[in-house]
Chains A and B, each alone.
Chain A
């Protein structure tokens, strides 16, 4: 039983923001140095999912919830094969995990995966700072190597770190090889490959494990393709629908996926995008994207479906957004498009849909994990687009 997070047992650590603000605390997880973009997440549950979400690649995540690690680490909840966050900032890490599924402590997991973190700082002050000044670069330094190093020297190192704006990161996090997630039958067993009702080609820009799982639950066989996949690669799997995933980085750099998306739109294949995928659809339609001051990261965000007026509570993780008009239908090379979903907190575009062909996307995370399941219906919507397309094809 460890008591190592209290008192002097843990090495001192320091967090340095690029604007010079400094927080001093104790090392958490691995000891060393790390850099990234400082962002905060307001989710009170789901740290395992957050840590393993590839969209957090190169970001240092500040947890606003003070207690982190209480339920330890299990083998079922990660959203990918590794922790992606560049650094982790918490106030009060758990000393003893408590959950029947827990296999080890979060502290151990962070150490094992070499993730440098800091604990015991005023995370609310840091969050307020980021809210007022915007997301910015940050460095965390812990351990003997940094003892006695002057703050100015640390700040200089932070300023050398790369910016998030203009970063093209999808290829770094996506699968290198295509793999197949089989559909799940009504009996809960995997359906043999090639026999599912629908096949979807999913372009992995940093996909979370829950996304193909949500499709598989609906009888869809998902072929997950590398971020570098071409239109030919996509159609090589003879898809009933094409999916563009979430992922890290600046959508303005994603020219490759945008070109693939246009190829799909030209063929009018049912199309669904999530998060980064929504930004790519925005760009494919000719809209711009921009960086939000401090982004949306949490699992309590109210999004209104403008077609029904209903509000869903949704999981968000995005620092960029699509710049599309809320008040009118836009003409695009692929027909009319409209903003289908909007965040009620700040009126940011949260979803797009084409009115003349089967394509839509959302900026948030209907697959949840972590987060509420309110938006799971979007997977049904995607499925019914494919059903309609199939019926039309059968008729034709």
Chain B
């Protein structure tokens, strides 16, 4: 069926800020969908609150709304734009939930908007556990196989004991009914455990009911990605097998595509079930994924769940196979059928086929437990990873080892030197799934564990276990060989060993191994991902390396620019950097270069096969990059390698690349050093006459104490050479300084601790700027809402700055220019300043694209990353102004007075983590970055923009109700005015006794509530924590008390997270929130597209 002609415009809902479980993959899928729909001639209206996305670039959609994804705001957009249709399946759970809620509220009907790509009934059938069980039963009745896990509902202990028999014995899962967040559930391995858990569960359950379920822990886990069109054609795009057996969330598992350990009969059975389910659920068009568990003992198949939408797995499957699921889902949603859509990669064959892989794909998760030291690191069915790396190899071992080194984390690669450890201890440790369990397993193998033992303890499939043994045997051969002969070296490379690993085993330097390898002619070739196992010629240069015979890199004539991406998402280095890399690729392609992207993150737009002229899906290590540069230098001229857009990952390679003769363009490695090295940067500041906070470095407590005594407490301490503020802390007294030094494992004579004067009460300012050697273009000046001391990535900020005047901007401009010039920047630089009193201190400078580049670009309607890429290759700012990429006059520091105010707010992953006792982790902001994503609120005044940013990040600010206030002593003065405003807006205040006293003395009435530590009152008065849990509190203001009194605050804040109550942890945030509440109560909050904003800005500039 060809394209529908009754749809002229479509609203696409994005997924909002990056959070754990919903990340950059939805930018990838949404961007694909928007581009396709636009190319089909439809007017595309997009809503997404996340500015760090490619999809929210103004050229991707016709009308782009960076507004909160709430039914309220989306309705405003619908009322304004009147789209014919709404496509909700490409923006994750956020988009789906918003669409469903708008359907239920009758909004879609009211405006005559048709839901396409999914229907409400199908969504409910797929998502509702009980309904889905019915679907699986219906499928079994039709085709004879497929079932859900067996379960029994029990109301007494006798039921429970009898239930075990019905389920076929231990272990069993106990799930009490209607408890919050799965409270009281657990695994019972014997009757004693069962009586304990089920007894507690029956008590906890308000209906005295527990569900007893058979345990499928340790079973093999699989996933199929399917697509269906309106003519009921169904294809399975990809099968994925989890290396980690059942019990670990698939997002936290190492996964492999295609499935490795299924016979055709078993695979076809899964395929039959999958197809029957997609039909039974009634997914009209588009993609969905279905998860299965298989009993390794007898092959029994259990259907676990389905997602009736594009998911993280579909992004992975798209990258793994070259089959662009989201793009095709968008085409199917507007009426096309699979046979009418061509396969982009072959161009000649249709999309109605199933990709065949002649390689193996391994995905490995990237965790950030080091940011949450109190969180329990056990992997469970709740996803905890913050990113992932994917690698492609011609066999499993190669792909696995590439994936592990792509994680770019100390210890992520297998190591074969050092003490072996105790086998039994290692095996016992490996029972518990954690980040890095695979390394523990390898150590157990080194310590003499047998294949049978490894399987017994971990339930990892014996085939995978044997592959680990294979890797270990090669490591043994490498260690035992008299010298590195070519056969052995080739064999090791064929199984994914890096030069660094071989060097470690042989006791050599990595570069020596590389030299030997090159001398022996052992180099990788590059193969193509072509969807069809070479059956047809591929037109798309999407490459991966392998130690095989024949390379497929074609010669080219145009000069190539190689752009190094940012690798797996992690806290501190996320989608923002991918944004800049993608922009560079677009800009340089337009400027006549052949762009070559290198990255290993499957979630991103940069690793879409049509973003760049060529794509290398490869790890971002020196070895892998050098080989790509070599391969491309054989293919044609290379104009240069760009390292300054992908964050610290490529930046860290700059010097080594240059030392190996690679032309690094843009800011030189020496200039990077001048900004990153403290001593060198200090000299730059001295020469420019710019002040930095007093500081010093020490390797012992005595040394640190001497510095702190001299510059005065509080001090900011941190280990050197760290990212994202890792281990950074504000220390208020000597005692804490001593314990900090004692606890820190990262301090050594070669790695000193940095002690800085902490600027209390300073305003922190971020600047993004371009410099070409002659001219400075001030991209944007952002004023942080939170004071200095909170990591810039976690702080909300406003652009243009809301309290800085023309004189301040002038000083910032002069300082920025002096630093850019002193360092020697060619491209982007990001500088953090602190304004304390009237002194402008320089905190740090990053000679690269920063996290805020997408935000600044969108707020000022200027493509900074594109400009940076051009400057790197020699174009001047004057030339860019002339060709229109940069404004003819002025810059981000001279925005017109009526320019819209943009507010960025960070989104934190608190609700994902629990400590080992199952309690939430604390939510206080600090110098260490912990946010996973960000949203942007944009409006004509600050209050409204701030309110929008809060709505986008955490849900709408309350406009009335009860506000609880409890602040540290130092905040008590500044709290008075905003508190009074809250009362003026009709809020009823509650406070702990100390805060209430201050409020009352200032004529503000506040009800005193009991602290948790005070316990319940004699007449049953509840504590604040109970009140929060009871839903009695609508807004919480709780600032941490420094080192003392933490505990109460901790309980309050974790309760707020659990209940989803807005919780402000700084007085500055309270002041901003009051402005937001004020705007909301005035009731004049509208929506405006980025295109409209840009028009206004451009008009004002001309």
Contacts and interface: CB of A to CB of B under 8 A. Distances in A.
Contact of A344 (B261, B263, B350, B359): B350
A contact patch SS: loop
A96 interface: yes
A6 B469 CA distance: 12
Interface string B455-480: 00000011101100010011001000
Contact of A100 (B267, B297, B348, B470): B297
Contact of A122 (B357, B396, B550): B550
Interface string B250-272: 00000000111111110110011
A123 B463 contact: no
Contacts of B474: 6
A45 B298 contact: no
A15 to B, nearest CB: 12
A128 interface: yes
Nearest to B269: A373
Contacts of A70: 260-261, 463
Contact of A124 (B462, B466, B537, B548): B548
Interface string A186-212: 000000000000000000000000000
B268 A371 contact: yes
Given A7-B477, A96-B451, A96-B463, A42 B532 contact: yes
Contacts of A67: 260, 360, 395-396
A309 interface: yes
A3 B467 CA distance: 11
B463 A125 contact: no
B235 A313 contact: yes
Contacts of A344: 339, 349-350, 352-353
A64 B235 contact: no
Contact of A345 (B267, B353, B358): B353
Interface residues of B, number: 60
A98 to B, nearest CB: 4
Given A65-B358, A122-B548, A310 B353 contact: no
B491 interface: yes
Interface string A48-71: 110000000000000011110011
B534 A124 contact: yes
Interface string A23-63: 10000000000000000101111101100000000000000
A99 B296 CA distance: 7
B748 interface: no
A45 B463 contact: no
B533 interface: yes
Given A7-B477, A64-B356, A96-B466, A77 B264 contact: yes
A283 interface: no
A373 B533 contact: no
B229 to A, nearest CB: 9
A14 interface: no
A95 interface: yes
Given A6-B473, A344-B350, A373 B264 contact: no
B1010 interface: no
A95 B463 CA distance: 8
Contacts of B352: 302, 311, 313, 344
Contacts of A43: 264, 356
B533 A65 contact: yes
Contacts, number: 176
Interface in B274-303: 296-299
A371 B353 CA distance: 13
B257 to A, nearest CB: 10
Contacts of B462: 96, 98
Nearest to B494: A120
A24 to B, nearest CB: 9
Contacts of B354: 299-300, 313, 372
A121 interface: yes
Contacts of B395: 66-67, 91-92
A48 B298 CA distance: 19
A66 B297 contact: no
A101 interface: yes
Interface in B213-247: 231-233, 235-236
A279 interface: no
B536 interface: yes
A309 B462 CA distance: 44
A74 interface: yes
B268 A311 contact: no
B840 to A, nearest CB: 60
Contacts of A313: 235-236, 352-354
B228 to A, nearest CB: 11
B353 A125 contact: no
Contacts of B348: 345-346
A92 B232 CA distance: 37
B360 A66 contact: yes
A354 interface: no
A42 B298 CA distance: 28
Given A65-B358, A91-B395, A99 B263 contact: yes
Q: Please classify how large the interface on chain A is, using the bins under 10, 10 to 19, 20 to 34, 35 or more.
A: 35 or more
Given A44-B357, A100-B297, A310 B261 contact: no
Given A44-B357, A67-B396, A344-B353, A125 B535 contact: no
B550 A98 contact: no
Contacts of B233: 310-311
Nearest to A132: B537
B296 A100 contact: yes
B394 interface: yes
B357 A65 contact: yes
B130 interface: no
Contacts of B465: 96
B349 A345 contact: yes
Interface string B512-541: 000000000000000100001111110000
Most B CB atoms within 10 A — which of A300, A309, A346, A371? Answer: A300
Contacts of A64: 356, 358, 533-535
A215 to B, nearest CB: 18
Given A67-B395, A370-B264, A42 B533 contact: yes
Interface in A69-83: 70-71, 74, 76-77
Contact of B356 (A44, A48, A99, A123): A44
Contacts of A131: 534-537
Contacts of A345: 348-350, 353, 536
Contact of B264 (A23, A49, A309): A49
A227 to B, nearest CB: 27
Given A97-B463, A311-B338, A45 B267 contact: yes
Contact of B258 (A1, A44, A92): A44
Nearest to B552: A128
Greatest chain B CB density within 10 A among A6, A49, A96, A299 is at A96
B263 A71 contact: yes
A298 interface: yes
Contact of A302 (B261, B339, B356, B461): B339
B549 interface: yes
Nearest to B550: A125
Nearest to A1: B451
A310 B235 CA distance: 12
Interface of A: 1, 3, 6-7, 23, 40, 42-46, 48-49, 64-67, 70-71, 74, 76-77, 91-92, 94-101, 121-125, 127-128, 131, 298-302, 304, 309-311, 313, 344-346, 368-373
Given A45-B263, A344-B352, A372-B354, 8 more contacts: A40-B533, A76-B265, A101-B299, A124-B548, A125-B548, A300-B353, A313-B352, A373-B271
* Pairs A-B, 10 closest by C-beta atoms: A46-B264, A122-B549, A125-B550, A370-B264, A64-B533, A96-B466, A98-B463, A45-B264, A300-B354, A42-B356
20 contacts: A40-B533, A48-B263, A64-B356, A66-B360, A70-B261, A95-B470, A96-B465, A99-B263, A100-B296, A100-B297, A122-B548, A122-B549, A128-B534, A300-B532, A302-B339, A310-B231, A310-B233, A311-B337, A311-B350, A313-B236
